[in-house]
């Protein structure tokens, strides 16, 4: 199993960005067309990515304005990354008047790292737009399958 790490610097404070990770309405501004989030240890994480790929897991750790950790996988028949089978950690690191958002995705099959690196890069860029007050647009299909996200 492998892991990937992506970072983006966002023109917003950790306190401004954090709700985009935990509030379903704000989450949809950067990722998903439907979201059910219960941001507490053991709470559910379910986001319908691009209107057709259910990403499912549960929150493992939630530290306000600092970090969220959740399990993640795809709730799709015979998908090689099943629901809850990997771990995503998103950390908010103050960087002057901005915030460095660091995402680490652990437990991926080796052959899924490239697609997920691209997908998370896409979504972190959308998070940077939304959390800094912009409009990222709808979460539309960007590639060939759920491994893009």
| 88-132 pLDDT per residue, tens | 999 999 999 999 999 999 999 999 999 999 999 999 999 999 999
Model pTM score: 0.93
3-state SS assignment for residue 40: coil
pLDDT of residue 144: 43
Instruction: Kindly compute the dihedral angle of the four CA atoms of residues 56, 60, 62, 63, in this order, to the nearest 10 degrees.
Output: -150
Q: What is the pLDDT of residues 41-98, one digit of tens each?
A: 999 999 999 999 999 999 999 999 999 999 999 999 999 999 999 999 999 999 999 9
The predicted pLDDT at position 142 comes to 58
Distance between CA atoms of residues 18 and 4, nearest Å? 21
CA angle centred on 76, ends 71 and 78, rounded to 5°: 105
9-to-2, 79, 109, 136 alpha-carbon distances in Å:
24, 32, 27, 16
How far apart are the C-alpha atoms of 96 and 78, rounded to whole Å?
A: 45
Band the pLDDT of 140: cuts 50, 70, 90: confident
């Amino acid at each position: 199993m492998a892991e990937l790490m992506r970072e983006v610097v966002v023109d917003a404070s950790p306190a401004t960005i954090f709700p985009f990770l935990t509030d379903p309405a704000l989450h949809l501004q950067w990722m998903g067309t439907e979201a059910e989030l219960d941001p507490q240890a053991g709470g559910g994480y379910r986001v319908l990515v691009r209107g057709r790929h259910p990403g499912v897991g549960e929150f493992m750790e939630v530290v306000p304005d600092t970090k969220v950790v959740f399990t993640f996988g795809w709730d799709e028949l015979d998908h090689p990354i099943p629901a809850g089978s990997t771990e995503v950690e998103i950390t908010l690191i103050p960087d002057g008047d901005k915030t460095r958002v660091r995402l680490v995705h652990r437990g991926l099959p080796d052959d899924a790292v490239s697609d997920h690196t691209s997908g998370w890069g896409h979504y972190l860029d959308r998070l940077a737009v939304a959390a800094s007050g912009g409009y990222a647009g709808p979460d539309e299909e960007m590639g060939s399958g759920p491994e893009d996200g």
